[in-house]
Amino acid sequence: MNNTKKMLRITPSFNLDTIKDGRGAIFSFIPQAPILEWTHQFIKSGKIRGNHCHPEFDEYILLINGNGVEIAYYEDGGEEKIEMSKGTCIFIPRFTYHVFLAITDCESISFLTKKWDDCEKPIIHNNLGLGTGDHGDPNSPYFKK
């Protein structure tokens, strides 16, 4: 469980011509590893997603609507916070405990570097002290072994 990588904000590149042509803009995010699965998530204002880590894959999260904060906790006791708004993309390395706090209603896309159903243990729950919630939480009414 030795995690030497840290959570980080991914800055997109863009082609200025896609803005100057008057139709909008195209921003490109380049992952460091192949994406094998993605999920579309909805998080209600005041709720959380997370309280866990993923031992078998890295995760990229692109917030497509809303405002919130992603918090990561590291083995060395360190903590990192990234404020997220529409268009923010972050990288969360495997074994990084994390939790997302929704300030407003939010939608996000999570990109995984391994298929969830191909994992022996895709999630390890840990109450990080910022609220309850996570389908991996043994105290949740939705928990299934």
> Tens digits of per-residue pLDDT, 26-37?
999 999 999 999
pLDDT at 109 over 70: yes
Stretch 102-117: mean pLDDT: 98
With respect to CATH, is domain 34-145 assigned 2.60.120.10?
Answer: yes
Helix (H, G, I), strand (E, B) or coil at 109: strand
Query: Residue 130: its pLDDT value, please?
Result: 82
Decide if 83 contacts 69 (C-beta within 8 A). Answer: yes
CA distance 141 to 58: 27
Q: pLDDT tens across 35-89, in order?
A: 999 999 999 999 999 999 999 999 999 999 999 999 999 988 899 999 999 999 9
Q: In this structure, are residues 73 and 53 in contact, taking their beta carbons and an 8 Å threshold?
A: no
Q: CA 6, CA 91: separation in Å to the nearest integer?
A: 8
